[in-house]
A = this chain, B = another copy of it.
Amino acid sequence: MDPMSLRHAVLGLLAVEPATGYDLAQRFTKSISNAWHAGHSQIYPELARLQAAGMVEVVGEGARRSRTFAITDGGHEELRRWMTETEASRTQRSETGVRWFLLAVLDPEDRRIALDQEIAFMTSEAQRLQAIADAIDETPDPHPFRATVDLGLRVNAVMTDWLREQRAATEPDRPR
């Protein structure tokens, strides 16, 4: 049972900084959402399993019966092992990808409508990523995930260019 990226995503987020289950749910949507997502109903049970496996531990209990978890040495070792010794199974699932694939089977009119939607979506994504980048840049010391945000922006740019090309090729009257 080597796949299971959720486990490693959680460990990785905790490796940066200890957090509560609630924090983790937020970080999934705010930082790693381009790669993986998990809601709290998945996170709490996973934290319990990781704790049972000695990979995370409770390092503090706060208000509202909150528990802050931190990664242990065992957890770090598991991360290291997974990253350097396992051959990735490479689960790949992107609804956006499916939609872009399907553009080809629409007639020109519908394709234009869909392309406009996709361009708008990518623009909002770029803004979301840029906001994250800006927030990171305001912090004093270099943030570990800054580089992947940059990658996201680059990929977004290439994809948006592609969408615009497709859009231009579908222009009705003046195909230029």
Contact = CB atoms under 8 A, between A and B. Distances in A.
Interface in A62-104: 79-80, 83-84, 88-104
Size class of the contact patch on chain A: 35 or more
A161 to B, nearest CB: 8
Contacts of A96: 35, 88, 90, 92
B95 A12 contact: no
B104 A144 contact: yes
A142 to B, nearest CB: 10
Nearest to A3: B95
Contact of A12 (B36, B105, B158): B105
A48 interface: no
A113 interface: yes
A155 interface: yes
A132 interface: no
A88 B90 CA distance: 23
A121 interface: yes
A147 interface: yes
Interface in A1-55: 3, 5, 8-9, 12, 15-16, 32-37
Interface in A109-158: 110, 113-114, 117, 121, 144-145, 147-148, 150-151, 154-155, 158
A64 B97 CA distance: 34
Nearest to A146: B104
